[in-house]
Structure 1
Amino acid sequence: MKKFDLFVIGSGMAGMSIAQKAAGKGLQVAITDELPYGGTCALRGCDPKKVLIGPTEIHYHAKHLQGKGINQVPEINWEDVMAFKQRFVDEMPPKIEKGYEKKGITMYHGTARFLSENTLQVGEEKIEADKIAIATGAAPRKLDFPGGEFAQTSTDFLNMKDMPDSLLFIGGGYIAFEFAHIAARCGAEVTIIHRSQLPLKNFEEDIVKHLIKATEELGINLVLETEVCGIEKLDRGYRVKGNASGEFKFFEAEMVINSAGRPPKIFDLELEKANIEYSSRGIEVNGYLQSTSNPRVYAAGDAANSPGLPLTPVGVLEGYTAASNIIKAKQKKVEYPPMPTVVFTLPTMASVGLTETAAKAEGYNYRIKYKEANDWFNARRLQVPEYTFKTIIDKDTEIVLGAHLIGPNAEEVINLFAMFIKTKMKVTEIKKMIFSYPTLSSDISYMV
């Protein structure tokens, strides 16, 4: 039986952060992943998705500036886009393995499962470790209705050789909206079916309504308050059955994508054998990211039931914190700064801090600044139809509590709001700042 100071399960950004930091401090570290090293973000999520979005951004702006200096909206070549995307994906695993090799990290490529509180079965090998870190990420939710197995995943979408004529997305989260926007701009007929009254439930409702409008104007069929309850295979494509308050509706599409959420990928690890408490939200951890029931075990990223949002930078933060606690006798609690989050549709929707509902629930004495800024210079020069903001400001301290945006460069502007919240910069100080002009950031002083 091989023995290590630390064994890391999962090679995404959280696992990588833990393994590299621990190895850098002299621990004997090993890591395993049943898939190529790199995790969801680098290989099957954020990074390849953003590469695919690039050409659709050109399409989006060209369409809005047609007749304003642009004569023709370019056609997106899916095959070329996919080849470009694949360059980024293919280079990651060997690059990561080279980094592990340099740090002296032992690498495994196999499924791990617990045998006891400090032993694992990894492939054909038994391994003992003083500490074990779980950073397995998340996986698509299993669809437990008839025909659920016919639905493809976001990974399948990111590897499509050809764009189907029609696609249907199950679920109204950010994955469904982002991929639906990509597909629609590539000429596909797209449907999103969501079971609740409003999609994107963790975002500010007033801003989500603007994204819904933009989504429908793109030609996407957004079906709300309808729960998918079956998929039937046809000669060509699939028929999807939806339940809308007892009334059944049917939809047909060449491809069906399961975008109904991503629970933590921990349920095949046989955690019970290691006395590790967990729930549907992940492994139960304390403020040090240590298992509440097995002190040898730490968890980070999507695998942990922590206050952190399911975002790559948060996984990195948790990974470094967990590694620090594994290395040092003195434990350090994880501290979360404001966590900006983005839906990379076009228009882009971004959010940081409290929503109005949360501010009200927490008892803040706040004021709202909410405006459709379509008539502002930056919206007019780009000819974008959606440019709206909603900021929530503490009346007592004049500090920004939350910012919610939809429009051009929202994914960049939101980072400045995150810094304002982190540093507790007062509105009067923000208004005195000089921003480069005419940029989207220069609009901030009018947003507070």
Structure 2
Amino acid sequence: MKEYDVFIIGSGMSGMTIANKCASKGLTVGITDELPYGGTCALRGCDPKKVILGATEVREFAKRLKSSGIDTIPKVNWKDIMSFKQSFVKAMPPKIEKGYEKKGIDTFHHTAKFLTENTLRVGNDEIKANKIVIAAGAKPRVLEFEGGHFAKSSTDFLNLEELPKSLLFIGGGYIAFEFAQIAARCGAEVTIVHRGRNPLKNFDQDIVTHLVSATKKLGIKIFLKTEVEAIEKIGNKYRVKGKSEEKTEYFEAETVFNSAGRPPAIFDLDLEKANIAYSKNGVSVNEYLQSTSNQNIYAAGDAADSEGLPLTPVAVLEGHTVASNIIKGNSKEISYPPMPTVVFTLPTMASVGYNESKAKELNRNIQVNYKEALDWFNAKRLKVEEYAFKTVIDEDTQTILGAQLIGPHTEETINLFAMAIHTKMKVNDLKKMIFSYPTMASDIPHML
């Protein structure tokens, strides 16, 4: 049996943070991941997605400025995109493992299963640890209907050697809209089928309406209130059966992708053997991110049922909190600053703080500013067709409660709103700020 002070399940950003911080304080540390080291964001999510998006951003910008200084719209070379993306991805796992080796952290490459409250089976090894951290991240939801196994994952999309001529995405969240737009801009025929009434349900629906409009303008077909019931392989295509309130419909595509959500990857760990309480949202944790039922266990990132959003910077924050509590004893309660989140479509859609519906639940006096800004200079110079904002202000304190944006570079502008909310900056002070002009940030005072 191998023994450690700390053993971590998962090599994503929260697990990496905990491993490095604990090792730096002299604790013996082991870590395992059945997948290459680096986690979803670096290898199968945010980072490779953003690299791929870059090429389509160039094409989109050129398309908008056609006849306004641009004569030729560039074509996207999918193979070159994949090669460029892979240059980032392939370098990450060996770099991470080399860093662990230098710090004396033992690495494993197997699934983990609990045996008792503080022991694990990792491959052929039995591991005992004073503290075990579950930082296993999330994985695609299992599609239980007939033929569900035919649907590929978001990881498969990011590793496509060739882009299919037609694609169908099951689900109406981040992954569906981001990848659907990428594929459509690269020339594919794309369909989104979502069972809910509204896509991207956690965002302000007035702003989502603009994203749906922009997505449809790309030729992407969107079917809402339609439950996928089966996938059938017919020749070199797939036929997808969807049922709405009115009728049963059939869709055909070369490739079908499962973008129906990503639950925490904890349900194969035999948590019951370690007396670990959990829900569909992850391991049940207290304010120290410690298991509510087993004091030897901590959880962080997507594996924890915490108030943190499933975002990489949040996973890092939770990792630092867990490491601190393991090293010093439970002395650091998790505290979340405003958490900006972005849908990396074109245009980007961004949100931070309370949206209008959530703000109304606070029973405060609120002011809501919602407007399309297509007549503003920034929209005109960039020739965009979607630019809108909604800001929510506490009238009594004159501070910002939330902001929802759609338009060019909102992924950057939203960070300024996050800082304003976090520092409780007064609206009038923000209005008096001098921003460099003409920039997207210079529009902020007019959004208040």
Which runs of no fewer than 5 residues in structure 2 stay unpaired? Answer: none
Partner AA of 1:438 in structure 2: P
Distance 1:260 1:364 in 2: 35
Deviations 1:79-100 (A, max 9, x none): 0000000000001001111111
User: Matches of residues 349-368 of structure 1 in structure 2 within 5 Å?
Assistant: 349-368=349-368
Q: Which residue of 1 aligns with 2:386?
A: 386
- Report how far residue 331 of structure 1 moved: 2.0
Matched, 1:444 2:436: no
Return the letter of the residue paired with 1:304: A
Tell me the residue number matched to 1:405.
405
Partner in structure 1 of residue 132 of structure 2: 132
Contact kept? 2:133, 2:297, Cα under 8 Å: yes
Secondary structure at the residue paired with 2:90?
Answer: helix
1:236 to partner: Cα distance: 1.6
Alpha-carbon separation, structure 2, partners of 1:98 and 1:206:
48
SS at match of 1:115: strand
Cα deviations by residue, 1:188-243 (Å, 9 ceiling, x for unpaired): 00000001111000001110000000000110001001010100001021000001
TM-score (norm 1): 0.99
Tell me which residue corresponds to 2:435: 435
Q: Which residue number corresponds to residue 267 of structure 1?
A: 267
Q: Deviations over 1:298-351 (max 9, x none)?
A: 000000000000000000000110110011124211000000000000010000
Distance apart, 1:246 and its partner CA:
5.5
Looking at structure 2, the residues matched to 329 and 267 of structure 1 have their Cα atoms a distance apart, in angstroms, of: 28
Give the structure 2 partner of residue 114 of structure 1.
Answer: 114
> What's 2:316 paired with?
316
Q: Distance in 2 between matches of 1:116 and 1:244?
A: 46
Q: What residue in structure 1 maps to residue 72 of structure 2? A: 72
- Paired letter, 2:311: L
What CA deviation, in whole Å up to 9, does each residue of 1:386-409 have, x standing for no partner? 110000000001100000000001
> Secondary structure of the residue that 1:231 maps to in structure 2?
strand
Aligned partner of residue 351 in structure 1, secondary structure: strand
Cα deviations across residues 32-66 of structure 1 (Å, max 9, x unaligned)? 00011000000000000000000000011111100
Give the letter aligned to residue 10 of structure 1. G
Q: Tell me, in whole angstroms, the C-alpha distance in 2 between the residues paired with 1:146 and 1:17.
A: 40
Partner of 1:23: 23
- Most deviating of 87-96 and 326-335: 326-335
Give yes or no for contact 2:288–2:330 (8 Å, CA) kept in 1: no
1:373 counterpart = 2:373: yes
Which amino acid is 1:296 matched to?
Answer: N
Q: Secondary structure at the match of 2:179?
A: helix
Structure 1: any 5+ residue segments left out of the alignment? none
Question: Aligned residue for 2:254?
Answer: 254
Deviation per CA, 1:2-37: give whole Å up to 9, x if none. 100000000000100111111111100000000110
Partners of 1:138 and 1:215 lie apart in 2 by 27
Equivalent residue letter for 1:31: I
> How many angstroms apart in 2 are the aligned matches of 1:255 and 1:14?
33
Distance 1:40 1:72 in 2: 36
Alignment match, 1:290: 290
Distance 2:329 2:313 in 1: 25
Amino acid at match of 2:122: V
Separation in 1 of the partners of 2:119 and 2:423?
Answer: 44
Structure 2 CA distance for aligned equivalents of residues 53 and 71 of structure 1:
22
Matches of 1:50 and 1:144 in 2, distance apart?
30
Distance 1:364 1:166 in 2: 48
Instruction: Give the aligned partner of residue 56 of structure 2.
Output: 56
Number of matched pairs: 448
Tell which deviates more after alignment, 237-246 or 122-131. 237-246
Distance 2:121 2:362 in 1: 46
Pair 1:6 & 2:13 matched: no
Q: Secondary structure at the match of 1:136?
A: coil
Match of 1:342 in 2: 342
Aligned twin of 1:416: 416
Specify the SS of the correspondent of 1:433. Answer: coil
User: Secondary structure, in 3 states, of the residue corresponding to 2:85?
Assistant: helix
Secondary structure at the counterpart of residue 91 of structure 2? helix
C-alpha distance 228-330 of structure 1, shift in aligned 2 (>3 A): closer
Q: Which residue does the alignment assign to 2:159?
A: 159
Distance in 1, Cα, partners of 2:128 & 2:296: 11
**Which residue type is aligned with residue 361 of structure 1?**
E
Q: Residues 272-298 of structure 1: CA distance to partner in whole angstroms, max 9, x if unpaired? A: 000000111100000100000000000
Per-residue deviation, residues 355-400 of structure 1 (Å, max 9, x unmatched): 1110011112100111100110011001011110000000001100
- The alignment partner of 1:58 has SS state of helix
Matches of 1:241 and 1:329, distance apart in 2:
53
- How far apart, CA to CA, are the structure 2 residues paired with 1:437 and 1:94? 43
The aligned residue for residue 33 of structure 2 is 33
SS at match of 1:228: strand
SS in 2 for 1:139: coil
TM-score, normalised by the number of residues in structure 2: 0.99
Residue by residue over 1:134-175, the C-alpha shift from the partner in whole angstroms, topping out at 9 and shown as x without a partner, is 000000000000000000000000000001000000000000
Letter paired with 1:440: M
Partner of 1:181: helix, strand, or coil? Answer: helix
Partner SS, residue 42 of structure 2 = helix
> Which whole-Å CA distance do the structure 2 matches of 1:240 and 1:230 have between them?
6
CA RMSD of superposed structures (Å): 0.6
